[in-house]
Amino acid sequence: MQTVTSADGTSIAFEKHGEGPPLVLLHGGSSPKYWEPIVPRFAQDYTVIVPHRRGVGESGDSAEYGLDRGVEDVRAVIDAVSGTPVLFGHSFGGLLAIETARTTPVQTVVAYEPAVLVGDYRAEADLAAQMQARIDDGRRREAMRFYVSEVMHGGEIDDLDGWLAEWPPWPDIVALTENVARINRAIEQYHLPDTLDVDAPVLLLTGTAGPPHLRDSIRAVDAALPDSRVVEFDGVGHGGPTEAPSRVIATVRDFIDGEKTRVPESST
């Protein structure tokens, strides 16, 4: 485990695996362990960097948190490693990857269902407040159940308890309840700009079995980016990188390899 100091002095931990050009994996509402099944699939060809989000794992914390602070944390990790990285983020990590790439040089960006709220869903979203109400009532486990139901299933699932019993992060993820509530506040405060000034190609990934509002978000993010591609995986949900790792990783590798050999339009 290595650490770096972020802009406000907070210690941010990151794991480092393998050798090669840097590939930074940014986790969403779960812990950095989310990427454990993925790391070995990249570590033979890349130096895989797995930051621990502020307040999670081995990283330090602060009283105040927002998306800008998260971007500073990612940038601090990037500055501590050699080379210009590929950023691969899931959910909130996908939003962090895109926003980091607006101010930091990167090779490419991959975002699986970045946590961006648009349209009617954005106007109605109050996930953070509903989580906080349950937390304040001493029902942390219920707060996390509510979050998982909304984010993984769009609020529509017949047997949530049965599904949770088979979901590897449960019940350990309950320990992250307060942290997840605050990243949802950051997500709800974020307004997608008309143009995302990312000077790198972006691969946007989604699944047909994920929440409908995140598929709406993918289309909106795609429209705001100058150079992006969308791939949808049939029958895959919000946990795509770990639900269907072979399919997702093959697509990611093809994209990265294709961008290495693509001739920029301005040079033709």
CA distance 19 to 214: 34
CA distance 127 to 118: 14
pLDDT more than 90, % of the chain? 76
Decide if 92 is inside a domain: yes
Domain span holding position 32: 2-118+192-267
Q: Residue 169 is which amino acid?
A: P
Kindly indicate the confidence band of residue 261, based on its pLDDT and cuts at 50, 70 and 90.
Answer: low
Question: Would you say residue 263 has pLDDT above 60?
Answer: no
Predicted confidence (pLDDT) per residue in 61-99, tens digit: 998 899 999 999 999 999 999 899 999 999 999 999 999
Predicted confidence (pLDDT) per residue in 201-234, tens digit: 999 999 999 888 888 999 999 999 999 999 999 9
Q: What pLDDT score does 91 carry?
A: 94
Q: Which long-range contacts (CB under 8 A, 24 or more apart) does 33-38 make?
A: 33/169, 34/90, 34/169, 34/241, 34/242, 35/241, 37/242, 37/245, 38/241, 38/242, 38/245, 38/249
Q: Provide the whole-model pTM.
A: 0.92
Q: Which residues contact 52 (CB under 8 A, 6 or more apart)?
A: 12, 13, 14, 15, 31, 32, 58, 59
Decide if 156 is inside a domain: no
Kindly indicate the confidence band of residue 150, based on its pLDDT and cuts at 50, 70 and 90.
Answer: confident
Min mean pLDDT across 75-79, 121-125, 138-142, 229-233 is at: 121-125
**Sign of the CA dihedral 140, 179, 237, 250?**
negative
Decide if 46 is inside a domain: yes
CA distance 246 to 167: 19
> Total domain count for the chain?
1
Q: Judging by DSSP bridges, how do beta strands 86-90 and 47-51 pair with one another?
A: unpaired
Question: Would you say residue 254 has pLDDT above 90?
Answer: yes
Q: What pLDDT score does 183 carry?
A: 93
Kindly indicate the confidence band of residue 268, based on its pLDDT and cuts at 50, 70 and 90.
Answer: very low
CA distance 142 to 97: 29
Question: Would you say residue 262 has pLDDT above 80?
Answer: no
More confident residue, 54 or 125: 54
CA distance 110 to 230: 10
Beta-bridge partner residues of 48: 17, 23
Question: Would you say residue 265 has pLDDT above 70?
Answer: no
CA distance 85 to 130: 37
More confident residue, 156 or 237: 237
Q: Judging by DSSP bridges, how do beta strands 202-207 and 86-90 pair with one another?
A: unpaired
Torsion of CA 19, 102, 204, 218, to 10 degrees: 150
- The whole-number average pLDDT for the span 1-7 is 95
Backbone angles phi, psi at 190, to 5 degrees: -85, 130
- The whole-number average pLDDT for the span 151-162 is 84
Decide if 136 is inside a domain: no
Q: What pLDDT score does 266 carry?
A: 43
Domain harbouring 70, CATH code: 3.40.50.1820
Decide if 129 is inside a domain: no
Longest dimension (CA), the chain: 62
Backbone angles phi, psi at 15, to 5 degrees: -90, 155
Kindly indicate the confidence band of residue 267, based on its pLDDT and cuts at 50, 70 and 90.
Answer: very low
